[in-house]
Amino acid sequence: MTTSRSGPKLAKIAETIGVSTATVSNALSGKGRVSDELAARIRRKADELGYVASSAGRALRTGRSGVIGLVLPDIANPLFPQIAQAIEHAATQAGYGVLIGDSRGEIGMQTEAIGRLVERGVDGMVVVPRRGTRVIDIDCPVAVIDTPSTPGNTVSADHFGGGELVARHLAALGHRRVLLVGANRESNVQNDRLAGMRSVSELRTETLWLDERWYEAGQGGTLSLAEKMREGFTAIATVSDMQALRALTELQRNGWRIPEDVSVTGFDDLPWTSIITPSLTSVRMDMARIAGIAIEVLCAAILDPAKIDQTDRKTLRAPIQTVAMTLVERNSTAPPPIRDETAFKGELA
Amino acid sequence: MTTSRSGPKLAKIAETIGVSTATVSNALSGKGRVSDELAARIRRKADELGYVASSAGRALRTGRSGVIGLVLPDIANPLFPQIAQAIEHAATQAGYGVLIGDSRGEIGMQTEAIGRLVERGVDGMVVVPRRGTRVIDIDCPVAVIDTPSTPGNTVSADHFGGGELVARHLAALGHRRVLLVGANRESNVQNDRLAGMRSVSELRTETLWLDERWYEAGQGGTLSLAEKMREGFTAIATVSDMQALRALTELQRNGWRIPEDVSVTGFDDLPWTSIITPSLTSVRMDMARIAGIAIEVLCAAILDPAKIDQTDRKTLRAPIQTVAMTLVERNSTAPPPIRDETAFKGELA
DNA sequence: CTGAAAGCGCTTACAG
DNA sequence: CTGAAAGCGCTTACAG
């Protein structure tokens, strides 16, 4: 028996078995208005004939499509696979399909992508904004996954807490001077992570933004991170595994040993963190949990439109939920090197 | 004017303007059965009222949902973002939405994922199989993106040619002894890439599979790749950027300089290839082109079911298309080190 | 417990 | 060029 898109219809089942379509519908939906024996007989026959309900017919009648949209302004986000998988799984559990919406990295196209999803009749959507983009005027329930400090946020990882975790870990190992590395000054996520790191008082930190401005200042080139390190830092804590990978390979290439000479940490626990040498200490978010909450809140809003806050741009009127992050300790961190800090400072000249 | 899912219906527009719904429908679909002035007036009013056609109504009437499925057995595949983005873009251009289907890496769940998409009424699907899984009994048009050597394939990158490209590049630099690194013996993609590499006669190659068997043989551990290199190889050509990253960091960690001591190449041109030090020479596939072809063939089959080959499991009856790959030369490759090969062999003891 | 009927919103022959 | 009517396949009050 093959699943089939143009197979028998409800009426066919009803006719074959000699009952009304209403009864078949009730039997199949299990609403219990049909005697057990008959219901069983109908189900058997439906299976036998390979019946698959028409989603169009159902959607037209019920007014709900059973599909939600997943919007990521930047699908190239390295976390995308994890997010997509978690959302797809949670949505499937809740009986929803997931339509993807991409704006190819261009902020202007986000509205179009969202519009396309609305046209396709999604019942709601999950939006993971990037770079402070805001969700505007969407006339359907929207769950936002960003940071606790983002207005309109629905659920997010505790990025601040994650930063704290990393900083505490380094402090516990004995590090005192830590170089913080960010990539995008506008990112709420990155700023929250950095704020968390800075909140650990044992550490003296300094922040380096490896962004366009840094390049423009002519500080790019192979050696500059290594040079910066000579100022006496014993560890680099980055806001993403990508930045950590960058720092790790650049330092290795310049003869630094990790973690003996310098500890390096990342964020997000991307798939390659454990295959590199040394494997990367990182912080993971519980995507399954976050996705589960987003879908749960979204479904509640879909079923009960009163949950949509009319005054506040249709965002969900649910308490913002924050999910703790977890430190994944690996080989890229170790106690600080035994060395005279002033000696290193001297090398600067 | 906000896009709206529960806004005015066709009948509302018709009533407001004083024409029949048929005329509104014709005007909006631009089939040209309506006078230009009236059509323009209708369009203006529809815009003004924020009319969005009900996809359910249309789907039920036309028998087509305007949605296709994208199935990746392993959504954690690092290429997923690229594939998803390219497919989403091509599908959007063709007027289709994209529903994602994931089987969470478990082969057994692939059929379920496909079944769910069929239930949701997709008009067709794009499947990127992994590890020799086959597409079975799907009663809708399917375009398969795999390798030219996979039965039922629709379109794919020329993985063999990509392997050749890498090998020729290394040969042209002067390399003669190259270690080939694979990760999964079952993968058609990897085997095609390796076959292409081996086809370049100037090179003496040997293949190392860094898979479960290798680990079981007790050859894991930090130094073994480095040890293997002492047999006289001057370059490592891997079947994926992940393996290249692994080799690169492991060798760097053990004091090898890349590319001075050994050249390393990857495959797929993942986002981080250019941020690591040294940046990684890789091979990229033209995803946009591949996705474009897949969608084109799929749409043709959707519109003309005769294109579906009944005898051959519903796969598309279109000529298999192969898209050339491109070498992206970066800093991880250089002429072979000047050294006495026998001397290195001696070091083994 | 079961059935007859209405209707979700569209598009498409068919008339005029 | 425009309209009246049918019908896509379902579900849901409403009767019985």
Using pLDDT thresholds of 50, 70 and 90, give the confidence band for residue A199: very high
Domain membership of residue A153 (yes or no) is: no
Residue A146: inside a domain, yes or no?
no
> Is the pLDDT reported for residue B273 higher than 70?
yes
The model's pLDDT over B60-92, given as tens digits with 9 standing for 90+, comes to 999 999 999 999 877 777 888 889 999 999 999
Residue-by-residue DSSP string for A131-195 = TT------BS-EEEBS-TTSTT--EEE-HHHHHHHHHHHHHHHT--EEEEEES-TT-HHHHHHHH
CA–C1' gap, A19 and C5, in angstroms: 15
Please indicate, yes or no, if residue B59 is contained in any of the structural domains: no
Burial class (CB in 10 A: 0-12, 13-18, 19+), B339: exposed
- Contact list in A for residue B6 (CB cut-off 8 A) is 63, 139
The number of folded domains in chain A is 3
Q: Is there a domain that residue B149 lies in?
A: no
Both tokens assigned to B163: 């392997």
What is the model's pLDDT at position B126?
A: 94
Q: Is the CB of B323 under 7 A from strand D?
A: no
Spatial separation of the C-alpha atoms in residues A134 and A127, rounded to whole Å? 10
B247: pLDDT strictly greater than 60: yes
* B228, B336: one domain: yes
Are B79 and B228 members of one domain? no
Rounded to whole angstroms, the Cα distance separating A192 from B44 reads 46
Which residues of chain B form beta strands (DSSP E)? 67-72, 97-102, 124-127, 142-144, 155-157, 177-182, 204-209, 235-238, 263-265, 282-285, 321-323, 325-328
Report how far Cα A173 is from the mean position of its chain's Cα atoms: 30
pLDDT of A134 above 90: no
For A174-196, the pLDDT digits (tens) are 999 999 999 999 888 999 999 99
A97·B117 Cβ contact <8 A: yes
Same domain for B165 and B313? no
Looking at residue A1, its pLDDT comes to: 38
Of A5, A67, A76, the CB nearest to B118: A5
Rounded to 5 degrees, what are φ and ψ at A25? -55, -50
A21 and A122 share one domain: no
Nearest CA in chain A to B140: A5
> Which positions of strand C lie within 7 Å of protein CB atoms?
1-13
* pLDDT one-digit tens code per residue, A246-257: 999 999 998 999
Kindly state whether residues A75 and A219 are assigned to the same domain. Answer: no
Closest CA to A213 of A182, A177, A189, A240: A182
pLDDT at residue B343 in the model: 47
In this structure, the answer to whether residues B16 and B43 fall within a common structural domain is yes
Select the highest-mean-pLDDT range: A103-112, B8-17, B41-50, B54-63.
Answer: B54-63
- Count CA within 13 A, CB hemisphere, residue B215: 5
- What percent of chain A has pLDDT above 70? 86
**A152 domain-assigned:** no
Q: Are residues B166 and B244 in the same domain?
A: yes
pLDDT at B220: 54
C-beta of residue B188 within 8 angstroms of C-beta of residue B182: no
Residue B272 has pLDDT above 90, yes or no: yes
Is residue B295 located within the same domain as residue B247? no
**Tens of pLDDT along B177-229?**
999 999 999 888 999 999 999 999 999 999 999 887 776 665 555 457 888 88
Q: Do A193 and A258 belong together in one domain?
A: yes
Dihedral, A298, A300, A304, A306 alpha carbons, nearest 10: -70
Q: What is the rounded CA–CA span in Å between residue B309 and residue A135?
A: 45
Percent of chain B exceeding pLDDT 90 equals: 52
The answer, yes or no, to whether residue B312 has pLDDT greater than 50, is no
Which segment of A53-62, A184-193, B148-157 scores lowest on mean pLDDT?
B148-157
Residue A213: pLDDT above 90? no
Check if the beta carbon of residue A280 is closer than 8 Å to that of residue A240.
Answer: no
Asked if the Cβ of residue B19 lies within 7 A of any atom of strand D, the reply is yes
Which range, of A36-40, A200-204, A291-295, B206-210, averages the lowest pLDDT?
A36-40
In a domain? residue A3: no
Residues A134 and A43 in one domain: no
Residue B261 or B343, more confident: B261
**Nucleotide D11: nearest residue by CA–C1'?**
A61
Q: How far is the CA of A61 from the C1' of D15 (A)?
A: 21
Identify whether the C-beta of residue A99 lies closer than 8 Å to the C-beta of residue A122: yes
Residue B197: which CATH number?
A: 3.40.50.2300
Residue B207 pairs in a beta bridge with B180
CA-closest candidate to residue A225, choices A262, A199, A200, A196: A262
**Domain span at residue A22?**
10-53
pLDDT at B253: 92
Q: What is the pLDDT of residues A275-307, one digit of tens each?
A: 999 999 999 999 999 999 999 999 998 987 666
CATH of the domain at B20: 1.10.260
> Angle at the Cα of A82 (from A117 to A187), degrees rounded to 5?
75
Residue B17: pLDDT over 50: yes
For chain A, the residue count is 349
A305 prior amide bond cis, ω within 30: no
- Tell me whether residue A324 is in a domain: no
Q: Are A262 and A234 in contact (CB under 8 A)?
A: yes
Rounded-to-integer distance, Cα B302 and Cα B109, Å: 25
Is the domain of A174 the same as that of A267?
yes
Q: Is the pLDDT of residue B304 over 80?
A: no
- List the A43 CA – D9 C1' distance (angstroms): 18
Q: Are A266 and A124 in contact (CB under 8 A)?
A: no
Q: Is pLDDT at A347 greater than 60 in this prediction? A: no
- Residue A149 forms part of a structural domain: no
Please give the radius of gyration of chain B, using alpha carbons only, rounded to the nearest integer: 26
pLDDT recorded at residue B308: 57
Q: Is the pLDDT of residue A2 over 80?
A: no
Q: Give the per-residue pLDDT at B38.
A: 85
Does the pLDDT at position A78 exceed 90?
no
pLDDT band at B116 (very low <50, low <70, confident <90, very high): very high
Site from A9, A10, A51, A100 to mutate, B interface, most B CB atoms within 10 angstroms:
A100
Task: Check whether residue A268 and residue A164 sit in a common domain.
Answer: yes
- pLDDT, residue A346, reads 37
Please check the confidence at residue A215 and state whether its pLDDT lies above 70. Answer: no
